[in-house]
Amino acid sequence: MEKVMVLLRKAPYGSVYSAEAFRTIMGIAVFEMDICVGFADDGVYTIVKDQNPEKLDMKPLGDGFPMLADFGVSRFIVHKESLSERGLSTKDLVLEVETADSEQFSEIIEEYGRLLPF
């Protein structure tokens, strides 16, 4: 099974990148690939609990991520420093994740080989 890592680096609202990353994961997961989802920089906000973007006429993006397990996507990695720099911990997130420091994070990117950065 081909390995692919989708990396979310940007804040969930204000641009389309995080939403498109989610669509990409859904779109390629049906082709039975080994998909890992990474969150770094402002991308960590994508899976923070209690998002209320309705006033922006957007749907809460975080809600979709726990459902990805049903599509065979079950590995989620969060860049540890990105989380702590923003005063967040894994308890603030909508799903269970692995955390990785910068070195571990780059090792995982290398392990997956094919990277789709958003």
Positions touching another protein (CB under 8 A) are 2, 4, 16-17, 20, 23-24, 27-28, 30-31, 33, 113-118
Measured from the CB atom, the residue of 23 and 49 that comes closer to another protein is: 23
Query: Shortest Cβ distance from residue 4 to another protein (Å)?
Result: 6
Query: Shortest Cβ distance from residue 33 to another protein (Å)?
Result: 7
Measured from the CB atom, the residue of 15 and 102 that comes closer to another protein is: 15
Query: Shortest Cβ distance from residue 38 to another protein (Å)?
Result: 14
Chain center to CA of 103: 18
Measured from the CB atom, the residue of 16 and 67 that comes closer to another protein is: 16
Query: Shortest Cβ distance from residue 20 to another protein (Å)?
Result: 5
Nearest to 9 by CA among 41, 33, 56, 57: 41
Say if CB 47 and CB 39 are below 8 A apart: yes
Measured from the CB atom, the residue of 94 and 116 that comes closer to another protein is: 116
Nearest to 79 by CA among 111, 40, 118: 40
